[in-house]
Amino acid sequence: MNEFDKHVEDIYRVLDGKVDRETIARELRNWITNFKVPMAEAKRSIVSKLGGDPSKLSGNEKKICDLTANEARVDLKVKVITINSKEYELEGIKRKMYYGIVGDETGTIPFTAWRMDVELRRGDCIEVKNAYTREWQGKIQIVFGNNTRISLLPPNSIEVKSTIKPAKIVELHPKMGFVEVRGKIMDVSEKEVMVDGVPRRVYEGIIGDDTGEIPFTAWDVEVNKGDVLKISGAYVRTFRGMPQLVFDPRTVIEKIDEKIEVKEIPVTLESLEGRGGFNVLVEGVIIDIKRGSGLIYRCPECGRVLTSTMCPEHGKVTPKPDLRIKAVLDDGTGGMVCIFNKGQTEELLGIDINKALKIVQENLGNPAVIREMIEDKLIAMPMRLRGNVISKEKYGLTMLVKDFEFLNIEDVAKKAELMLEELRW
């Protein structure tokens, strides 16, 4: 029997044989092919129209792997794999919503529950009636809404096929389900806690990869600082408003021989004030280009910047041309003068010093033309810089730039959506 005939049979059964299969099939085909109504909706409508009770239809029960976006009525039997709650206020009343992951023998899926009939815990097996699906960030999610009924099933009555997805640390989010992360343990501390009267070991720390860092909690599995690990079957939860990676005894942890360069989080300029820093990473916007940027002349003896052919120390000299930028980077917490050398200036402008000299010549010897080119290129641009920072009482912070790059600012929509999710829209 094919899929379509199964649905016809289902309707035939509910209608108690009052209508023949051929009529039902014709009717159903009409709804599905001509009106493009979803199957569950079509079946309900037909049963109602022909005088039956649509709640007796069995076909709404689905397996997770069959779910598609925007299904209106879905019944499922699933196991709760992770569950988190959030409080929110609606019309002045404090309410609670839940989210997490549920799974069955065909896979796992994130869920959101606006209301719960029963207080659910991790590991509960449940029957869900009348849920619906939606798409969030390109992924299907199941929603338990106002008309959804949830009832408990016997413990361990559902086997879960866990789908473990490889993920980078920057992407980790509580709605992801089981993940596989490759990372380096940056820091770890151990403690013992009592859970239901049983002592258990917890390791807490920070794990990082080339995209970022995240706090982790490991239950009953020992991890050491500096370990590079492949962690399969961990999950993400929200702890004190921040995502946290959790490994439990079922998580498979494997030491791997891999070099991982952990991506640093930029420091704030405010935190460098009064102390400076060695080889620090900062992110901000260039808000000013200082005088003395662009084409300058130096004393060939001492390197001092000259405005004439006279060096205060070496007398009359033939000044040597040079390129440099003194830019002010501001990250909203503070500002800092950043010095780009000749090679870096050439790279930023896309011209070498000879070309710069020629451009100045063409502009009647006015070196301001180079500074204007720099301003056009850099002002208001978000950048990431690395270098040594010195802090001086009189001038504030100065960085000798070692590495620089323009920030990729294309994808703020995704970040905005994540933040809205955190703020509960």
Partner 1 sequence: MSREPAWRVFAAEFNSSKYYIKATEPKMPSYVVTPLGAKINRVFAVGVLTEVRLITEEVIKARIADQTGAFYILAGKFNPEARQILETVKVPQFMAVIGKVNVYNPRDELMYVSIVPERVKVVDEVLRDYWVFDTARRLKIRIDAMNEALKMESPTLDNLIALGFSKRIADGVISALKYYQKINVEKYMDMLKDALKHLLPEYRAMGYELPTIEEEEEEEETKEEYEELVLKLIAELDRDGKGASYEELLERANLPEETLDEVLLSLQEKGEIYEPYLGRFKKI
Question: What residues line the site for partner 1 (CB under 8 A)?
Answer: 268-271, 273-274, 285, 287-288, 328, 330-336, 379-382, 393-397, 407, 409-410, 412-413, 415-417, 419-420, 423, 425
The nearer residue to partner 1, 41 or 331, going by C-beta atoms, is 331
The nearer residue to partner 1, 376 or 403, going by C-beta atoms, is 376
The dihedral sign for the CA sequence 227, 228, 234, 238: positive
The nearer residue to partner 1, 38 or 396, going by C-beta atoms, is 396
Task: Compute the least distance from the CB of residue 291 to partner 1, in Å.
Answer: 13
Task: Compute the least distance from the CB of residue 153 to partner 1, in Å.
Answer: 37
The nearer residue to partner 1, 252 or 265, going by C-beta atoms, is 265
Picking from 313, 335, 317, 339, the residue whose alpha carbon sits closest to that of residue 399 is 339
Token representation of residue 351: 């011209």
The nearer residue to partner 1, 278 or 425, going by C-beta atoms, is 425
80 — phi, psi (to 5°)? Answer: -80, 120
Cα–Cα distance for residue pair 210/169, rounded to 1 Å: 8
Task: Compute the least distance from the CB of residue 337 to partner 1, in Å.
Answer: 8
Task: Compute the least distance from the CB of residue 278 to partner 1, in Å.
Answer: 19
b/e burial code for range 133-149 (CB count within 10 A of at least 16 → b): beeeeeebbbbbeeebe
Task: Compute the least distance from the CB of residue 106 to partner 1, in Å.
Answer: 30
The set of long-range contacts for 112-115, using a CB threshold of 8 Å and a minimum separation of 24, is 112/141, 112/142, 112/143, 112/144, 113/143, 113/144, 113/148, 113/150, 114/143, 114/144, 114/145, 114/146, 115/144, 115/145, 115/146, 115/148
The type of residue at 163 is T
Distances (CA, A) of 327 to 254, 373, 408: 46, 13, 20
Task: Provide the phi-psi class of 61: left if phi over 0, else alpha when psi is between -120 and 50, else beta.
Answer: beta
Task: Compute the least distance from the CB of residue 114 to partner 1, in Å.
Answer: 18
Picking from 25, 20, 19, the residue whose alpha carbon sits closest to that of residue 52 is 19
SS3 category, 222: coil
Cα–Cα distance for residue pair 216/245, rounded to 1 Å: 4
Task: Compute the least distance from the CB of residue 209 to partner 1, in Å.
Answer: 23
Task: Compute the least distance from the CB of residue 172 to partner 1, in Å.
Answer: 19
Asked whether the beta carbons of 82 and 98 are under 8 A apart, the reply is no
The nearer residue to partner 1, 28 or 214, going by C-beta atoms, is 214
The nearer residue to partner 1, 153 or 379, going by C-beta atoms, is 379
Picking from 91, 88, 93, the residue whose alpha carbon sits closest to that of residue 113 is 88
The nearer residue to partner 1, 9 or 330, going by C-beta atoms, is 330
Q: What is the DSSP string of 335-358?
A: EEEEEE-HHHHHHHHT--HHHHHH
Picking from 192, 68, 76, 85, the residue whose alpha carbon sits closest to that of residue 134 is 68
The nearer residue to partner 1, 127 or 273, going by C-beta atoms, is 273
Token representation of residue 43: 């079946």
Task: Compute the least distance from the CB of residue 334 to partner 1, in Å.
Answer: 5
The nearer residue to partner 1, 358 or 424, going by C-beta atoms, is 424
Task: Compute the least distance from the CB of residue 207 to partner 1, in Å.
Answer: 21
